[in-house]
Amino acid sequence: MAWSRAIVYSVLSARLWSPTNAEYIWPNEDIDEVEKILFEGDNPFDGPGSGFASILGDCHGLIGTPSDPLGRSLGAEWLRNSYHDMATANVHTGTGGLDASIVFEMDRAENVGQAFQETFDTFKGARNSRASMADLFAIATVMALGDCSDGKVIIPFRGGRVDAVGPGPSGVPEPQQDLATHTESFANQGFNVTEMIALVACGHSIGGVHGVDFPTIVPNPPDSGTDNTVTFDTTTDNFDNFVLANLKILHISAKEFVANVSQNPLAFGQNETTRSDFRIFNADGGDLISQMAASQDFFLSTCTTMLERMLNTVPRSVKLTDVIKPASVKPRKLFLTVNADGTLFVNGIIRITDTVLGSSGSQVTIHPVSRLGKPLPIAIGTTKRGFTGGCGFTNCGPDYTYYEFNTTVSAKDGISSFTVETKDSSTGKVTTYSNGGAGFPFSDDIQPIISQSNQTIITIDGTDHLQLNITAAVLNAEQFTDISLIVPQPSNVTAPISPWVQDRVSLKPSHKIQGTSFTIYTGTWQSNSAAISHPFDVVATGPTRTVSSLFNSWQDIPFV
């Protein structure tokens, strides 16, 4: 079986995004980063076109257009990548699945084509210690299905996938294999014969076979300047919002097969040996494919279920999170500066969903709390950071407004947390968001001082190195025996991906700020290249406790 740039077209109203019932408690290291990648898309901080949904654009994305002679589809490549990564799973032994081992397996004949390297190149810069490559591959597939179907295919996303450290076994189904081999392969993946038929039908509802990759299936004339793509049916990339048009589009792939008029080269191609879809679709006598052709709802519900199962096939040792839904209120970029006059300047950004804001907008007020629980001067949020259209395609999630805030408090009082209050401009209704009752944590025990830190590139022996110069404020520094800057780095820089290790640099005391209990610490970390930077931590460890400021973004550090 070849999932050559296939893309699925399905919809279930019950699967569309809806606000979560359980309150999202922030921070949550297991889901915060993937929640941002999945639901924010473009935002005011990362610049236009930074979200992966924007890279997609449509079914073809930035790679081409529907008239592209190469016939390649970026969204379809993302789906094909995930299937091939998952396809060597063995549910009987509990090994394999969606684990990003595909990045070590691109030279295999079963993984022919550019889809895998292109997908990896697109996502490798977003991988970090809180977003595995395997999770990014799954997010890519969720986005591809949602974007290419104009929001009619929404797969609930669970995080927590763990990246492999090397290649897995071979065994991705190939078109020339017989039905018995395919049946055994899908059984190892956890799918019975009926489910095998469904998964192939869903995966091949849109997409095609490229002659440049499969010349025995689709002749590829030399020097043609194209991939010589033959699509699975006559409606490639033809997604429509009208119900009647959707009925026609969604049925046509299965109906064409049932009527024996399909152009699918894996069903009725010139090479009988590689007619894998024909063998698979007839594995039950044609019963399931006939049902899928006859009922749109059945087709859609079956595809949604099967593709979700595909993404959630992981090694037995991996435990996925609950379905991740967007937080209604979520802090972003919380900063603190210790002033010479004995005060703290506190500022940050609050991301709020459109489901929380009233129809005419809301007034947003931040209520900080001191270390001892005393109310501090309030801050009024402003919308200077503007608005983002969520994750970039219909039904994937809410829209957001970003509210900036700042306030000045006594360094003696300090700050420990805050709550967020919204007041509907039209009804006057006031709602307080307390993050599960304890408030949103904002500790002043240790914080990098962004305005006094910087990053630069230095050249040593002809090689560029990325350098981070950090200034941090530490409260009651005498309680700690070690104060460090930690930057996670790959354990094997020559591998496509590898586990993260902590690169630690001890920070040194600079001076104590008169009239306060804060001491300023400084330090420098230097990479082995000018590679993409990983979020950093500052951590203070002592005999009785450890305090930290985690996952700070290099983007916030001035470049000099």
Do both 222 and 81 map to the same domain? yes
Q: How confident is the model at residue 218, as a pLDDT?
A: 61
Work out whether strand 440-441 and strand 387-388 pair parallel, antiparallel, or are unpaired: unpaired
67 shares its domain with 177: yes
| Residue that finishes a domain, picked among 375, 409, 443 | 443
Instruction: Place 368 in a pLDDT band, splitting at 50, 70 and 90.
Output: very high
Domain co-membership, 291 together with 346: no
| CB distance 468 to 533 below 8 Å | yes
Is 11 within a domain? no
| Whether residues 124 and 155 fall in one domain | yes
CB 145, CB 82: distance < 8 Å: no
Mean pLDDT of 269-283: 62
Mean pLDDT in residue range 428-446:
95
The reply to whether 4 falls in a domain is no
Helix intervals (H) in 40-98 = 52-56, 74-86
What average pLDDT does range 292-317 have in this prediction?
A: 86
How far apart are alpha carbons 12 and 305 in whole angstroms?
10
**Is the bond preceding 27 in cis, omega lying within 30 degrees of 0?**
yes
Q: Of 391, 410, 443, which marks where a domain is finished?
A: 443
Residue 175 sits in the same domain as residue 70: yes
* 426 and 453 share one domain: no
Residues 110 and 222 in one domain: yes
Do 201 and 61 fall into the same domain?
Answer: yes
480 in a domain, yes or no? yes
Q: Which of 40-54, 239-253, 302-316 ranks highest by mean pLDDT?
A: 302-316
DSSP annotation of 58 reads S
Choose the final residue of a domain: 285, 312, 339: 312
What pLDDT is recorded for position 7? 28
Mean pLDDT of 62-91: 75
- The answer on 462 and 382 residing in a single domain is no
Asked whether the predicted pLDDT for residue 242 surpasses 50, the reply is: no
48 assigned to some structural domain = no
Domain membership flag for residue 170 = yes
| Same domain, yes or no: 376 and 241 | no
Average pLDDT of the segment spanning 237-241? 34
- Same-domain pairing of 190 and 218: yes
* Mean pLDDT score of the chain: 82
> For position 73, what pLDDT does the model report?
73
Return the closest-CA partner of residue 251 out of 285, 203, 289.
289
CATH number of the domain encompassing residue 222: 1.10.520.10
Predicted pLDDT of residue 224:
58
**Torsion sign, CA atoms 522, 527, 531, 535:** negative
The 10s digit of each residue's pLDDT in 207-227 is 656 556 655 556 666 555 566
Beta strands in 275-399 (DSSP E): 329-338, 343-353, 362-369, 379-380, 387-388
The total number of structural domains in the chain stands at: 3
Check pLDDT > 90 for residue 175. no
Give residue for tokens 């305005």: 451
* Cβ(94)–Cβ(317) below 8 Å: yes
CATH number at residue 527: 2.60.40
Within this chain, do residues 81 and 187 fall inside the same structural domain, yes or no?
Answer: yes
Domain boundaries, position 483: 447-556
Q: What is the pTM of this model?
A: 0.87
pLDDT at 383 over 80: yes
Give the residue with greater pLDDT, 209 vs 199: 199
